[in-house]
A and B are shown apart, each in its own frame.
Chain A
Amino acid sequence: MKKGFKIIVLAKQVPDTHNVGKDAMKEDGTMNRAALPAIINPEDLNALEQALRIKDQYPETQITVLTMGLPKAVEVLKEGLYRGVDKGILLTDRKLGGSDTLATSYAIAQAIKTVGDYDMVLCGRQAIDGDTAQVGPQAAEKLGIPQITYAEEIQEITESSITVKRRLESGVEVVKAPFPVLVTVHGSAAACRTRNAKFYMKNKNDESNIITWGAADINVEDEKVGKAGSPTTVKKIDAVVLQAKESKKLTSSDQDVDTLIKDLLSNHILG
């Protein structure tokens, strides 16, 4: 049995949309990123915890965190190092700015290819700023490797495969895939551990475990990244205010409850 695995964790710095203040939206309806604190995408932290648990079990495991974003996204890498990650890669370049999920997944896949040797790529199911859940699966497609989405728990690892419990809407599913594999981790997976005091002290002033790459380092074609490589355009943004338009009064009688359940089922709110 191997003593360790090579893992790449994809992590994204996102605005903390769970702590939205009154300045969170600009007048044109777009997000005011400056008014929101930057955090690591929560489900990426779930993915990081899965990687760290593998390292707990197989101490020779090497974990690399890869992030794409502005130079300040280096904070994401630092947070990884403070928790036990071995190396961080910051992918930052003006050419990559404005990338949609297609262009982002292409750049990420190119960066993973540049890393070269890996057993698994772990990432969050989706980011809280876009909620697309597309980057992980698209990167797997571009890399030509199997993907397991909605992972809740890594149940078994062998020398050449991984067995994962998936959290689905209607229950759970256990699947197995050979290495190399990309796994997107669901928010119901174990929460990420806190920073480790010693790792913090060691890495806070040390940049030697962080590598910065630009577009040229990962061999991308310019027309496939940034705005040029992004077919997605935002046509219009509406501020939607949800409000109740009609209400129904029900009693606690069996008949009323029965009617309510039937209504909910027919509207696909239940089932």
Chain B
Amino acid sequence: MANFYNDNPDLKFHLQHPLMKRIIDLRENNDYSDKDKYDYAPKDFEDALDNYDKTMEICGEVCADVIAPNAEGNDLEGHSIENDHLKYNKYASADYEALRKAGVWGITMPRKYDGLNMSNVPYMMVGEMVSRADGGFCNFWGLQDCAETILEFASEEIKQEYLPKVAKGATLSMVLTEPDAGSDLQSVQLKATFDEESGMWLLNGVKRFITNGDADIQLVLARSVEGTTDGRGLSLFVYDKDKNCEVVRRVENKLGIHGSPTCEMVYKNAPAKLVGEEKLGLIKYVMSLMYGARLGVGGQSVGIAESAYREAYKYAQEREQFKQPIIKFPAVYQLLGNMNAKIKGMRSLLYETARFVDMSKLLTAKKNEGTLPKELRNDLKYFVKMADAFTPLLKLFSSEWCNSVCYDALQIHGGSGYMKDFPIERMVRDARITTIYEGTSQLQVVAAIKGVTTGIFAERMAEYDKMLEGADNLAE
């Protein structure tokens, strides 16, 4: 039985990183007291780590046995519109159902909302494995970031209403982009007006390029302050598909990630609830959401690159030219060696960033609760700083390297790789979006430059040097 977790020792290595003890302890409130309330809560760190490990194993099996075999069909069939709504193809539906039955939806949600209460590291790890199986379908998984935003900023009433649905497998979408508001989200025009009678906000307008637009739970960025033109007039709303006041006008015909439907959405008097406070939609909530999404694209990039590398490696062993497998030729094994090194680098960056984000979020939550001990204040500052600096760095490098790995993987396939007969052409197409969405590479440079000029990266590099000194001592 194939398993994308068990066949990749890197993943177990990152799951057992020393910082995971601290992350899991914090996640379990240091006392593992959830065990008295929930029959599936761990009793100590070892128990929790075993849960993480086995959950990854379950996901690895679903990815290898269900999602990967469906990837070609998902790509070829794409998705369609039926009666103004999105209709998923049978492959994506089966993938989704397999993950739902595996009980891993809501992986990062607290147990209070029926989640598994796991950290960002395993969440990203599943993202990587799903992307390795199908670079398009992985967006269904990654859009759980929206649940994180609800958890972090919405009222308890909204959390109670929506988060248990996520744990049952409800799909999510972040509805931000408009025809004239892409990277420049300050120009969003979709209108939100408060309806005194129903006590709900009514959404009216058009959204474009919305991944899985017609999801069960939709987070919509809208202009709630009339007469404003910039980001300060925008608020974030949660809209329930059950209201049936949205129409999918078009499913985009794209270069890649056909397994992930990209929709043009029209909202007509669609009743929605305000997330958090008015006017903080873009400047606070969406910024946080985007940071989560960028981490997710990091996972997607590593996963697609891993699958492309494995295809190239297999092909180079099987393909014979001049009476020997082409992997014997230095020009080919050098390409493979470089690809492998890039993937290991990307993956280390991915899980390092995920750990920083975990620590940053956990300590921030403690601070907001007023339970952050004095001695951890510096840690909070440190991890917030690192998470902010490493997220754009990860998004930039992993997406660019994902494309370069896919490019080289196709090169190793030669002319055959250019044909539709091998999966590598799909991976090349799927990879292309990663440098564009959730903030282009150029925008990541803008976001990451602060880390260079203020010496954050230099500080971390010096810390790595110190760790290596320690490793030398160990070796002696």
Interface residues of A (CB under 8 A from B): 191, 193-202, 204-206
Contacts and interface: CB of A to CB of B under 8 A. Distances in A.
The main secondary structure of chain B at its interface with chain A is helix
B87 interface: no
B42 A201 contact: yes
A194 B98 CA distance: 8
Contacts of B73: none
Nearest to A52: B101
Interface residues of B, number: 20
B101 A196 contact: yes
Contacts of A198: 40, 103, 116
B112 interface: no
B101 A199 contact: no
Interface in B39-79: 39-43, 47, 50-51, 54-55, 58, 61-62, 65
Contacts of B43: 205
A194 B56 CA distance: 12
B50 to A, nearest CB: 8
B102 A196 contact: yes
In the A-B complex, the 4 residue pairs with the smallest Cβ-Cβ separation, listed nearest first, are A196-B103, A201-B40, A202-B40, A198-B103
Contact of A195 (B40, B42, B50, B102): B102
A193 B41 CA distance: 23
A193 B98 contact: yes
Nearest to B62: A194
Contacts of A195: 54, 58, 102
A197 B42 contact: no
Nearest to B102: A194
Contact of A197 (B39, B55, B65): B55
5 contacts: A193-B98, A193-B101, A197-B58, A197-B102, A200-B54
B410 interface: no
A194 B101 contact: yes
B104 interface: yes
Contacts of B40: 198-199, 201-202
Contacts of A201: 40-42, 51, 54, 116
A193 B98 CA distance: 7
Nearest to A56: B101
A94 B40 CA distance: 35
A201 B103 CA distance: 11
Interface in B16-48: 39-43, 47
Given A193-B98, A194-B58, A194-B98, A199 B39 contact: no
